[in-house]
């Protein structure tokens, strides 16, 4: 079995920034050993369960509701938060650290700007994704989420539309939806807000899949960008989406095959290394 690797693996710059911010907060304890400046994230900081668990062991705990905390530091996750939640955080007077990815921040500001200029905002993305929920709030709710080209026909207005994208969206899907919008909308403003690193990895994954008998896409099962990579790869060749090396035992591997390795942007290097190590163990001798 021969392994070939994507050039870009592991964390993207936005995730590296979020992790760095979380780890840079000094921990303070009183004489009893109780933490006096608890650090929390509202929802997972990034979409990788193993890395979130590692951070929790270092004192950065993910919570699901704002009323779970009264004091301390709250970190905005890399995929952002809705404006209504940000306002509630201000009222609680918590120390706020904004780890929103700069690419997501740009999309948020564009959503706000387009709305202020009278455009109905169309977001190409997944309705349930936290980033998309955040983007909707920056358009003041005057926005529609489009997941497929067919959804374009369901839009309530087609007079003046500004289109943006979830930053981890498939480039191919975004382009197909934009082409459909062009045939329906009188005045269309297009902003491709897909993260450059995301689009580069998608392109590279396709090229790697074309050279491989099997692709292994490493990343959280809750990671949108990892899911996109998996979708791209399985259109070309056999592919497995793995979150951890424990999943290797579910599959058999051809000794003579070529296996391509790529990862989502929120996948830590230590998980990639452990999967690769596990792969080598499947080939005794």
Say if residues 48 and 244 touch (Cβ distance below 8 Å). no
Q: Which of 53, 90, 131, 231 is catalytic?
A: 131
164 bridge partner residues: 123
Which residue matches tokens 């498939």? 170
Question: Is 210 annotated in the active site?
Answer: no
- Rounded Cα distance, 205 and 8, in Å: 10
- Report the catalytic residues: 131
């Amino acid at each position: 079995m021969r392994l070939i690797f994507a050039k870009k693996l592991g964390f993207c710059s936005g995730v590296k920034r979020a992790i760095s911010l979380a780890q840079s907060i000094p921990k303070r304890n009183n004489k009893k050993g109780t933490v006096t400046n608890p650090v929390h994230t509202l929802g997972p900081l990034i979409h990788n369960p193993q890395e979130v668990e590692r951070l929790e062991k270092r004192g950065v705990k993910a919570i699901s509701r704002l009323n779970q905390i009264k004091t301390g530091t709250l970190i905005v996750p890399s995929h952002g938060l809705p404006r209504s939640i940000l306002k509630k955080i201000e009222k609680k007077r918590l120390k706020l650290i904004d780890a929103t990815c700069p690419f997501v921040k740009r999309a948020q500001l564009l959503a706000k700007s387009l709305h202020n200029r009278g455009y109905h905002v169309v977001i190409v993305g997944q309705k349930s994704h936290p980033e998309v929920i955040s983007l909707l709030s920056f358009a003041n709710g005057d926005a529609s989420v489009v997941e497929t080209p067919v959804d374009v026909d369901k839009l309530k207005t087609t007079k003046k539309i500004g289109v943006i994208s979830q930053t981890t969206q498939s480039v191919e899907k975004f382009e197909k939806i934009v082409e459909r919008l062009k045939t329906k909308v009188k005045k269309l403003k297009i902003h491709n807000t897909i993260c450059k690193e995301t689009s580069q990895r998608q392109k590279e994954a396709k090229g790697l899949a074309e050279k491989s008998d099997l692709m292994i896409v490493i990343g959280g099962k809750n990671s949108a960008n990892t899911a996109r990579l998996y979708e791209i790869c399985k259109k070309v060749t056999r592919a497995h989406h793995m979150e951890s090396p424990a999943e290797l035992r579910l599959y058999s591997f051809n000794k003579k095959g070529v296996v391509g390795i790529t990862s989502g942007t929120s996948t830590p290097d230590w998980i990639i290394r452990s999967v690769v190590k596990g792969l080598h163990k499947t080939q005794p001798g």
